[in-house]
């Protein structure tokens, strides 16, 4: 096994159990290592610090598998880690329904489950896996086998790969998709908080759906009774259908993607108890549509802003901040006194504090007094390791205006 020796003083974050080693912290590599190979990590004085996956083309040169310098990285390692991650979720009562036969739940959340670069979302009998690092890619077979074993009690029989995110290019990896275990039609459906939703694991965003917003969609339904609701960047209608299920008077859903809106309409049809007359779908650029709504004088009691990732990294934060401020400013102007705004950012480059400042700036520019009623994040199946705050990518606010 090759040994990667850190520069003096660059071992502090590892001693705090942060799982990333950046290229600028590397002193030298002793021995040969190919992309994805396991290397032993040493402090500059030779102290063993653990073992990780080597990635020579990435600025994150090593992602740590373990901080136990004696632990072997083999098939049994992935079996243990994946079984433990599934067991942690099974121990949470709030995830019981989502672990049921027709549920959707994240089984593996990368670094926060001790498996850097490994995402696994379960939809009914199918797990969709996303491998975004050289180490995860190298151990593909072991990961799939362990997922089938750990997922068997949940009814998992198939594994589909969606390793097509842009992050792979930074690791020197090509995109790859397709069945890794089992086969069949990719489109399927789940039941979330009583609402049935279609999931296109082959063509949908990310792994086919946004499971991280499950609890926030439920909150939307609880807030929506009797309200006029505007759902911006609605994708396949998850927030919209929960609002309808919660008794919203009318729900307007806006997205620039025609195919996403067609899936949203199909999702509505999967729920015969929901009144389609209370749903309106608009294919449009959200920024332009909000300006048009403002011009028309239309108002909404509850607005949801769940935009795509404006800032994939801190380097994009300034430009993204302007976009987040614009979208929140436009929305705040459409709310009557007492109106509610559910606003989110999934950008890793925008921290919790910065996001609050952006929304506060938007309220100030809109001339609205507003208060935070709740701070929002991903669900318990999307944990954030204390040593890895970067894992808290999703943040949101429930804001009420005067």
Tens-digit pLDDT profile for residues 79-95 = 999 999 999 999 999 99
Measured distance CA(357)–CA(99) in Å, rounded = 37
Q: What is the DSSP string of 250-314?
A: EEEEEES-HHHHHHHHHHHHT-TTS-GGGEEEEES-HHHHHHHHHHHT---SEEEE----S-SSG
Average pLDDT over residues 345-354: 90
Q: Where residue 316 falls among pLDDT bands split at 50, 70, 90?
A: confident
Which H helix or E strand runs over 199?
A: strand 195-200
Q: Which of 103, 134, 104 shows the shortest CA–CA distance to 118?
A: 134
**Do residues 119 and 383 touch, judged by C-beta distance below 8 A?**
no
Report the range of poorest mean pLDDT among 146-160, 176-190, 218-232: 176-190
pLDDT of residue 73: 98
Average pLDDT over residues 64-68: 98
Measured distance CA(56)–CA(269) in Å, rounded = 49
Average pLDDT over residues 355-360: 96
Integer CA distances (angstroms), 333 to 156, 323, 354, in order: 46, 16, 21
Measured distance CA(374)–CA(20) in Å, rounded = 32
pLDDT of residue 314: 65
Q: Which of 186, 188, 208 shows the shortest CA–CA distance to 196?
A: 188
pLDDT of residue 324: 94
Q: Where residue 242 falls among pLDDT bands split at 50, 70, 90?
A: very high
Integer CA distances (angstroms), 49 to 7, 17, 54, 66, 93, in order: 13, 9, 15, 9, 36
pLDDT at 161 over 90: yes
Q: What is the DSSP string of 39-85?
A: EEEE-TTS-EEEEEEE-TTSSEEEEEEES-TT---SHHHHHHHHHHH
Q: Is 31 exposed, middle or buried (0-12, 13-18, 19+ CB in 10 A)?
A: exposed
| Count of residues in the chain | 402
pLDDT of residue 311: 63
pLDDT of residue 320: 86
Q: Which of 351, 355, 348, 293 shows the shortest CA–CA distance to 323?
A: 355
Average pLDDT over residues 148-163: 97
* Catalytic positions, written as ranges: 346
The model's pTM is 0.94
Beta strands 3-6 and 26-30: pairing type?
Answer: antiparallel
- Which three-class secondary structure state does DSSP give residue 370? strand
pLDDT at 313 over 70: no
Beta bridge partners of 141: none
Measured distance CA(266)–CA(272) in Å, rounded = 11
pLDDT of residue 312: 64
pLDDT of residue 309: 83
Structure confidence by residue, pLDDT tens digits, 204-233: 999 999 999 999 999 999 999 999 999 999
């Amino acid at each position: 096994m090759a040994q990667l020796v850190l520069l003096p003083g660059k071992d502090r974050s590892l001693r705090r159990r942060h799982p990333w080693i950046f290229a600028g912290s590397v002193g030298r590599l002793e021995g040969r290592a190919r992309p994805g190979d396991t290397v032993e990590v040493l402090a500059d004085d030779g102290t063993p610090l653990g073992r990780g996956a080597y990635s020579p083309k990435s600025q994150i040169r090593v992602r740590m598998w373990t901080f136990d310098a004696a632990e072997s990285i083999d098939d049994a390692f992935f079996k243990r880690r994946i079984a433990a991650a599934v067991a942690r979720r099974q121990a949470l009562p709030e995830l019981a329904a989502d672990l049921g036969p027709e549920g959707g739940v994240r089984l593996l959340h990368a670094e926060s489950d001790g498996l850097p670069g490994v995402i696994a979302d379960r939809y009914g009998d199918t797990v969709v896996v996303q491998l975004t690092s050289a180490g995860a890619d190298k151990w593909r077979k072991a990961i799939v086998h362990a997922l089938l074993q750990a997922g068997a009690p949940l009814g998992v029989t198939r594994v589909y790969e969606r390793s097509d995110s842009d992050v792979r290019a930074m690791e020197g990896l090509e995109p790859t998709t397709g069945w890794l275990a089992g086969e069949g039609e990719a489109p399927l459906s789940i039941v979330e908080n009583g609402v049935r939703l279609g999931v296109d694991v082959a063509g949908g965003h990310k792994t086919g759906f946004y499971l991280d917003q499950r609890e926030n969609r439920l909150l939307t339904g609880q807030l929506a009774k009797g309200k006029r609701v505007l759902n911006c960047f609605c994708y396949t209608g998850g927030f919209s259908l929960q609002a309808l299920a919660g008794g919203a008077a009318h729900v307007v859903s806006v997205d620039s993607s025609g195919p996403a809106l067609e899936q949203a309409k199909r999702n509505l049809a999967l729920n015969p108890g929901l009144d389609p007359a209370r749903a309106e779908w608009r294919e449009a650029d959200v920024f332009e549509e909000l300006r048009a709504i403002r011009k028309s004088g239309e108002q909404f009691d509850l607005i949801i802003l769940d935009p795509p990732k404006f800032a994939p990294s801190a380097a994009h934060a300034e430009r993204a901040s302007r976009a987040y401020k614009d979208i929140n400013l436009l929305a705040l102007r459409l709310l009557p006194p007492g109106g509610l705004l559910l606003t989110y950012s999934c950008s890793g480059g925008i921290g919790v504090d910065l996001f609050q400042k952006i929304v506060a700036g938007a309220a100030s520019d809109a001339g609205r007094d507003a208060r935070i009623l709740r701070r929002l994040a991903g669900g318990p199946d999307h944990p954030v390791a204390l040593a890895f705050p970067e894992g808290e990518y999703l943040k949101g606010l429930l804001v009420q205006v005067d």
